[in-house]
Amino acid sequence: MWLGGKMTDEISYYLHPWIKNRPITAWLPPGYSRINKTGANRYQRPEIDDEKCTKCGICWICCPEGAIGRGKKFTIDYEYCRGCGICLEECPLKAIRMIKEV
């Protein structure tokens, strides 16, 4: 199925609210991109070097998709990471590197 410019799994397509009811205008419920996995059209993937990382949280603030998780270690949710590279650009310690996926 076509959604968000990429093939996503059929379940998310059938959950789309416009399938059932006339939306009148183009609107969606909040948090809709939890269903619409934005990581599907990524061609590169950032990885955090835990030894260099000081958990300053700049990448966590800057990530436009909110795909970085804070905890004992900083993690990246690859289901939603678009691979835009903003975290890599913003990291003051160069603790993030980018890996090509295609």
What would you report as the CA-atom Rg of the chain, rounded to the nearest whole angstrom?
16
Residue 2 interacts with other proteins (CB under 8 A): yes or no: yes
Nearer to other proteins by Cβ, of 2 and 43: the residue is 2
Element (H, E) at 100: strand 96-100
The answer to whether the CB of 70 falls within 8 A of the CB of 84 is: no
The residue among 2 and 92 lying less far from other proteins, judged by its C-beta, is 2
Q: How far is the CB of 7 from other proteins (least distance, A)?
A: 12
What would the x/- binding string for other proteins be over residues 9 to 28, using CB under 8 A?
---------x---xxxxxxx
> Do residues 74 and 59 lie in contact, with contact meaning Cβ atoms separated by under 8 Å?
yes
Residue holding tokens 């993690």?
Answer: 75
The residue range among 29-37, 56-64, 66-74, 81-89 that interacts with other proteins, by the rule CB under 8 A, is 29-37
